[in-house]
Amino acid sequence: MAIREILVVPSPVLKQVSETVRVVDDDLRALMDDMLETMYAAPGIGLAAIQVGVAKRVIVMDLARDGEEAQPRFFVNPEILWASEETAPYEEGCLSVPEIYDEVERPLQVKLKSLNYQGEEIVEDAEGLFAVCIQHEMDHLDGVLFIDHLSRLKREQAIKKVKKLVKAA
């Protein structure tokens, strides 16, 4: 396992649409292991493969709170089968947009289909933080960042702030 570099805005790679994974094999599991280690080191609760420069439809996530045992989750080719009409705002942040937080309105519940670490198909319902996080990460797979849901002014300010942070580092 290895910690990979997380790309930050305005990297053009983050705007790429990720490709469907054909097979869950040892190479893909190695990528998912690296992504999980990278996410934990950042620290974050979700990471899409494109954020480490790999344009594959893969997400890792762990919503365990501090002090709880790790609960790593893996989503390959995730697909939303249903989303509730009811929405709610949630303050989001992103490892690719460091130190920027803002509210994004998303469906409260979704039904999700994906492949797991072993390549088995899973269908499950998501609500609360799980629903927010999976939608946020799935946006990445389509080249969409959470700041793309904000006004143009807020988005431009966020990118400017991140550029300044990166320059100072």
Q: Which residues form the catalytic set?
A: 137
Which residue from 149, 147, 18 is spatially nearest to 35, judged by alpha carbons?
18
Dihedral sign from CA coordinates of 146, 143, 40, 25: positive
Q: Are 102 and 150 in contact (CB under 8 A)?
A: yes
The radius of gyration of the chain from alpha carbons, rounded to an integer in Å, stands at 15
Distances in Å between the alpha carbon of 102 and those of 14, 44, 48, 158? 19, 16, 19, 10
The structure tokens listed for 108 are 């409260």
Residues whose CB falls within 8 Å of the CB of residue 145, separated by 6 or more in sequence, listed in order? 9, 14, 94, 96, 97, 139
For residue 75, CA distances in Å to 50, 84, 91, 116 come to 13, 21, 23, 5
